[in-house]
Amino acid sequence: MTEIRPKRLQVHEQSEMVALPSIQASEDVDCPSLCSAIEDGAAVLYLVYRAAEALTAAENRATDIEARAETLATRTAEELKLTKQQMHAVDAERQAIEADLREANSRIQEYEIALKNSESRVAAAEAKLTAAERRALEAETRANAARAALVRVEEAIRTHLLREGQRYSNKIKAAA
């Protein structure tokens, strides 16, 4: 914009210089109407320069706005790309966590099945143990009953056979 202004000023000054000598050269022209025409031309020229400056300023603003918009668009595109990468990373992490969770659930189900099997085996072993203990008690009871019967048999033998043996031996002694 600084380049445009000096050129315009030079053109403006040249047009005034050109107009002024022509006024002095011709004396038969009416000065007030000529001055009015020169002033109108200068005013028009001034307005043209002002319009050109306004257009240049508008173009500069548009260029600045466009540059800022491009920068903003570039930055937004980069942020969008980074956000998409982050989303992909989060999605991949979520999928990995879901896979780990499925694997953990599968192991838990296996452990639950193994626990149920173990509980079943323990219950069966306890049932066998209880049955064995009952049989052992029954065997002990039978053994005690057999001992008691044996003791009675021994007692009966002692009392009956020994008495008869004494009587028999007494009879043998008496007969001898």
What total of structural domains would you count in the chain? 1
How do residues 72-83 score in pLDDT, each as one tens digit?
A: 999 999 999 999
Domain range for residue 24? 4-167+170-175
Phi then psi for 171, rounded to 5 degrees?
-70, -40
Task: Compute the distance between CA of residue 20 and CA of residue 41 in angstroms, rounded to an integer.
Answer: 13
**pTM of the complete model beyond 0.85:** no
How do residues 143-167 score in pLDDT, each as one tens digit?
A: 999 999 999 998 888 887 777 666 6
Unique residue bearing structure tokens 């603003």: 61
Least confident segment among 58-62, 82-86, 157-161, 169-173:
169-173
Q: Which two tokens stand for residue 68?
A: 């800022």
User: For residue 12, what are the contacts with CB-CB under 8 A and spacing of at least 6?
Assistant: 42, 45, 46, 49
Whether 98 shows a pLDDT value over 60: the answer reads yes
pLDDT at 168 (0 to 100): 61
